[in-house]
Structure 1
Amino acid sequence: MSAVHLYKHHKVAFLTQHGKQTLLRGSLETALGCELVHTDGYDTDLLGTFTRDQSRPCSQIEAARQKALIGMRLTQTTIGIASEGSFGMDPFGGFIPWNTEVLVWIDQNLGLEVHGIAHGPAQSLHKTIQSKNELEAFASAANFPNHLLVLRPNNQDDPDILKGIDNLADLLQAFDWAKQKSIQGRVFVENDLRAHANPTRQGVIRKACDNLIQKLRSRCPQCNTPGYWITEQTAGLPCSACGHKTHLPISEIWCCATCGHEDHKHLSLDRLADPSRCDFCNP
């Protein structure tokens, strides 16, 4: 049974307050034949905010899992999906802002949970400023107004906050407000990281959705359950120029989380790595 047939006409709950349903609906419904049922009947900020006014009490995956389950209860469905993002510095050199997005798909009928994951550079800047010249320079670097901004007096933890600033007039007014409330005339400004306010993040969420769809369309050869996917890779693909081993995979282990079936796959022996991926040719 294909994933399209398995989920055709099934209602899938999606709890979100920040417009993520518009990012995923077309891809999910086309690929799986399901019907995405959006709800905003729960304040997801209670599970954590990027602006630190509400800390996230659990892991990224657990937060998405809780959202999916709450959405399913609100819509009285047995299948749900939810999204959760995180931000930090890139895992390679720690030099650029980085975004990791997770989608959790829960199918209570099958006792199944599948994760879609994607990573990428983030539009996630912040700075403490004191002048409108500094504000304008920051706004340019932060890709404003395409990406929205957040301002608060004093520092990143001040309880007074203005979110979702999307035009120059409001930005200047918010700066005056924050500067007046600041003890030392300092204003903390940052990118708004909520999905509807950050197109760069939207692109990573779409990639996570593509990853989820791939996993849901991959069925276990033993029990036919969706979510059969790579759990481990062995590096060592030879470089096409020098023959040295690279970090690219030469074999993979595929596993079913439902029945435990595993398959060890050796990748094609005629594949070679591009020299740009070789530490010896391109240190």
Structure 2
Amino acid sequence: MEIESHGHLPFLDTEIIRRDSKALFRVYRKPTNKDDLLHFYSAHNERTKVGVVIGFFLRALRICSREFLEDEILRIKSTFRALCYPEGLLSNSLRKARDIRQRKNPINRKDKQFLIVPGSDFSRLLGDAVRPLGLEVVNDTGKRIKQLVTPTSSITNNLSIIYKIPCGGCEKSYYGESYRGLETRIKEHKADLRHHRLSNAMVNHVEQEGHLPDWQQAEIIRKGLRKGQRKVIEALYISTNSNINQKVGNIKWTKYTAEYAKMRNCPNTAPT
């Protein structure tokens, strides 16, 4: 609990000063404060840097009494100059902060629509162009440091597969994808048959046609794939081969696109 000392009382980021019969206010900084803030040459986009500066000016405008406001503004400018911020950026940010402070009807963010785009000079021009339409451009932050330094998973995992289980009574086959290998998937399909789970396409085929799967001819047709590749290639096999699958897969190939992929013999897509 803070205690008033010599007419000064810090409360959060505000310092309350008792002078005669009135209270004055200014920004409070802890004695250990080093103004170690976002450097202008950091990897953040310019919108983020401008937002930080405007935030500091807004805090000064909202907290400081008239007697302390100018000193606080000078300190903010001096702090960011030391971090290589251009003088023009600081002046424009102060002007924007004053404009925001003087608004009588604050913008209701719930009524605004946002467009997320990568940060660039073009995104700032785009933001100015679409703002009259009620859209606000927001820049994404790109990859985090963790994503840059963490090794990606290998695609050589032989359990990550596309597989085929032929029907024992007709020319159709079931096509599937898994990251747990063919043996595990066959056990699961057999369990679905034993328990008569109609959510399984092979169970439905047995129910309707009386044809059992030919487990002995089950085979791996692709392996060592990432998840996204598995989804795309599984859907391609389903759309270009006679099958008993109930679903077309996560990707819906058009007839002509699928045939083109087969014709071009695209790596990681064309059936073998």
TM exceeding 0.5: no
Structure in which a larger fraction of residues adopt strand: 1
TM-score by length of 2: 0.22
Structure in which a larger fraction of residues adopt helix: 2
TM-score by length of 1: 0.21
Instruction: Say which one has the larger Rg.
Output: 2
